[in-house]
Structures are given as C-alpha cells and as structure tokens.
C-alpha cells in the first residue's frame, strides 16, 4: 500500500498533466480524447488517495486540542480530493461550452476552495505538532 504522501504526489502529477492537456486543447494542439483520458487518470489517483484518507483514524489518546487540530486537517484533506474532481469537471465543461463564463468562475471557485483546504491542513498539522512539542524538522516531515 502506498503512503498518503506518495499518493498525493501521484495526484499532483496527474492534475498537472491534466492542466497541460487543457492548455494543449485550448491552444488547438491537443485533442479531447487525451484530455478526457487524463481527467480519468487524475480522478483515479484522487479517488485512491481519498480512500486512504477516509481510512485514517486519529489516535484517541491524544490531547483534545491536538485531536481537534488533526480532525480539522483530516476533514479538509477529505474535501480536497472531492473538490479537485469538481474543478476538473468544470474545466471540461468550460472547454465544451467556451461561451459559458459561469463555468470559468466555477473552476476558479473550486481552485480557491482547494487552496483554502490545503492551507487549513498545513496550519492544523503545524499547530498539532507544536502542541506535541515536535521540532520544526519533525513537523516539516509530517507535511512532506
């Protein structure tokens, strides 16, 4: 079984390739089949990571404030993969319907949500690590 860090790298790479395929289609040098295939690969990677995240359990013997920080991080992590899928879906729709500007705004909104969730994950893990008196290097290892 892959680690969540490894899966996140896979998701990030697949999403970046999806974004590259989007740009190729917009430039007129790509094709929709490759774009749809890449969306499928990215969604599969995100689904695998999401499944692992849903299986994570926060140890019950942690202090309440640390558990709360980790619960916030876990809730946001669960949202990230769902919202990434919605962002890719809205991107596909915006390519299929280029005159519908609401789709572009929808995509931007999803990306802001992902950015916000990633920020919550990071700050919650840092807060939990500090409360557990982890060193900066130990906290950094948790984030990467």
pLDDT for 49: 86
Structure tokens, 49:
């990571």
Kindly tell me the burial class for residue 142, based on how many C-beta atoms sit within 10 Å of its own C-beta (0-12, 13-18, 19 or more): middle
- Location of structure tokens 């926060």: 58
Would the pLDDT of 2 be above 70? Answer: no
Angle in degrees, 0-180, between the axes of helices 101-131 and 64-96, rounded to the nearest 10: 160
Q: Please give the distance of CA 99 from its chain centroid, rounded to a whole number.
A: 28
Summarised one tens digit per residue, pLDDT across range 78-115 is 898 889 889 899 889 988 888 888 877 888 899 899 88
Sorted by where each starts, the structural domains of the chain and their CATH numbers stand as 4-143 (1.20.1420)
The share of the chain scoring above pLDDT 70, in percent, equals 97
What pTM value is reported for the model? Answer: 0.77
Residue 67 confidence class, pLDDT cut points 50, 70, 90: very high
Would the pLDDT of 137 be above 80? Answer: yes
**Radius of gyration over alpha carbons of the chain, in Å?**
17
42 in Cβ contact with 10 (< 8 Å):
no
pLDDT for 62: 92
pLDDT for 64: 95
The whole-number average pLDDT for the span 17-25 is 92
Mean pLDDT, the chain, whole residue set: 88
Burial 46-56 (b: 16+ CB within 10 A, else e): bebbbebbeee
């Amino acid at each position: 079984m892959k680690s969540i860090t490894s899966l996140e790298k896979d998701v990030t790479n697949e999403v970046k390739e999806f974004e590259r395929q989007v740009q190729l289609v917009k430039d007129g040098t790509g094709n929709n089949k490759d774009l749809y295939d890449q969306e499928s690969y990215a969604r599969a990677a995100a689904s695998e990571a999401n499944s692992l995240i849903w299986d994570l359990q926060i140890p019950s013997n942690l202090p309440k404030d640390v558990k709360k920080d980790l619960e916030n991080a876990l809730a946001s992590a669960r949202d990230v993969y769902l919202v990434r899928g919605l962002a890719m879906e809205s991107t596909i729709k915006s390519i299929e319907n280029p005159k519908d500007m609401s789709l572009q705004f929808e995509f931007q909104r999803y990306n802001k949500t992902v950015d916000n969730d990633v920020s919550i994950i990071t700050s919650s893990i840092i807060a939990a690590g500090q409360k557990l008196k982890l060193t900066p290097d130990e906290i950094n290892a948790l984030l990467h």
